[in-house]
Amino acid sequence: MCSLNEFQESSQRFLRADNYITILILLIVEVIDRLWWRALMQDEKAKAS
């Protein structure tokens, strides 16, 4: 088993490498979530009227 220090170093290196990918994924998820929520709200309004 590797020491905690080694694990932290490798995880930091991993985070630096994948930071922009993670941000991109979060952005995509955020956009999809908002679009889905907006579509849901329009659907609810259509049902209500």
Is residue 49 pLDDT above 90, yes or no? no
- Interatomic CA distance for residues 18 and 15, integer angstroms: 5
How many structural domains does the chain have?
A: 1
**Domain with 34 in it:** 19-49
- Interatomic CA distance for residues 39 and 6, integer angstroms: 47
Q: Is residue 12 part of a domain?
A: no
- Interatomic CA distance for residues 9 and 24, integer angstroms: 23
Q: Please, which pLDDT band fits residue 40 given cuts at 50, 70 and 90?
A: very high
7, 12, 13, 17: CA torsion to nearest 10:
140
Q: Is residue 6 part of a domain?
A: no
Q: Is residue 48 part of a domain?
A: yes
**Distance from chain centroid for Cα 15:** 14
Of 21, 42, 40, 44, the closest CA to residue 32 belongs to 40
Q: Is residue 31 part of a domain?
A: yes
Share of the chain above pLDDT 70, in %: 82
Q: Is residue 45 part of a domain?
A: yes
Q: Is residue 11 part of a domain?
A: no
